Amino acid sequence: MIQQLKRIFPSLIIYEAHKQYPSDAYKWFITNNKDIIGIEKKELTAKENNILHTFLQPYSIQFPAPTSEEVKWLKIINNERRELQAPSKSFRFVYFIFKHNQISPQKFKESMEALFSCSIPILWENENEGILIEEISTSTDEWVSYEQIIDVLMSDLYVKISFLVGPYMTSIANASTHYKTLIDSARTAFMGTGKQVISFAEAVPSLLIERMEEPFQEELISLILKECRTDMDLLREILTFFQCNLNVSVAAKELHMHRNSLQYRLDKFFDKTGIDLREFHQAFTVYLTILVNMHRER
């Protein structure tokens, strides 16, 4: 359909995050395939605009005008950096996502700058997710607590947000690759963590799962979880046990269960699978397999 429209409207472009910021000179629509397309307003008559509205959904893109720093970072992640100098500070990418229509991109940017007490580059994927670029110049600079940011946004603006915090880097050589990895992994990174703020290290299991072939995923579930694969309550309890650092007492409290009841459930898993969840290497295998199972159930 897009190619057919392009023959009628030569100015038609497909919006791609990172590559350009949307121009007010275009009328924007979203297709049934979720592609965002723009057609120059001067190329559209009122009649043509009305016709397009019958099978395309109008799309309003309202991002803040990009700063010079944001334009620089766009060039870096698009590998257009021939004449760009590397940042003088260590930096890290921080992925964020909040629900649609909870807060406008402009208001979110203003809130972040107030919390950071400085201008911070933000590259948008869409109107509710993107990447913050946090820079730190010395070891004495204060680290930002994203847990505190969540508390402030929730209490002041009623915005529920999640963050995936990347590692600090000093070179832009692999910045483009890492940026795309962070975006790709974020879709499943929070699965099974029960957290709104996670580190890149915590997201690695999800990265591994994304790269597993489906036949291997199925084999892993079948061989490790066996008949327990369908006992979602048991798997949830085991996952909580892992999240509580293999501490039965803490996990039982988190689950509102008696300690002996949870221990009985863990022993039940051992009886059915022969896997001892108290042993780290076996526990990690089960943890990864439960995440695989959750990934397939989505």
- 79 and 201 fall within a common domain: yes
Q: What percent of the chain has pLDDT over 70?
A: 91
- 153 and 165 fall within a common domain: yes
Residue 184 or 247, more confident: 247
Q: Is the pLDDT of residue 14 over 60?
A: yes
CA distances 8 to 35, 55, 189, 196, Å, are 18, 15, 42, 46
Within a domain: 63? no
The stretch 62-85 carries a mean pLDDT of 79
- Domain closes at, from 208, 233, 257: 208
- 193 and 133 fall within a common domain: yes
- 72 and 203 fall within a common domain: yes
Tell me how many domains the chain contains: 3
C-alpha span between 147 and 180 (Å, rounded): 24
- Output the pTM of the full model: 0.76
- 32 and 117 fall within a common domain: no
Spatial CB neighbours of 209, under 8 Å, sequence gap ≥ 6: 188, 217, 288, 291, 292, 295
Say what the pLDDT of residue 61 is.
67
- 237 and 274 fall within a common domain: yes
Q: Is the pLDDT of residue 249 over 90?
A: yes
- 174 and 224 fall within a common domain: no
Within a domain: 277? yes
Q: Is the pLDDT of residue 199 over 70?
A: yes
C-alpha span between 186 and 163 (Å, rounded): 9
Within a domain: 122? yes
Say what the pLDDT of residue 87 is.
66
- 75 and 140 fall within a common domain: yes
Least confident stretch, 10-24, 52-66, 230-244: 10-24
Q: Each residue of 129-171: pLDDT tens digit? A: 999 999 875 554 556 788 888 888 888 888 889 999 999 998 8
Mean pLDDT across the chain, nearest whole number?
A: 87
Q: Is the pLDDT of residue 46 over 70?
A: yes
The stretch 274-285 carries a mean pLDDT of 94
Within a domain: 13? yes
Within a domain: 159? yes
Say what the pLDDT of residue 140 is.
46
- 73 and 199 fall within a common domain: yes
Say what the pLDDT of residue 19 is.
62
Range(s) of the domain holding residue 194: 68-208
Q: Each residue of 177-194: pLDDT tens digit? A: 999 888 888 877 887 677
Say what the pLDDT of residue 115 is.
87
- 10 and 93 fall within a common domain: no
Q: Each residue of 218-236: pLDDT tens digit? A: 999 999 999 999 999 999 9
- Domain closes at, from 180, 208, 236: 208
Within a domain: 97? yes
**For position 181, which CATH number holds?**
3.30.70
Q: Each residue of 76-107: pLDDT tens digit? A: 888 876 555 666 678 999 999 998 888 889 89
- 134 and 221 fall within a common domain: no
- 194 and 225 fall within a common domain: no
- Domain closes at, from 208, 243, 261: 208
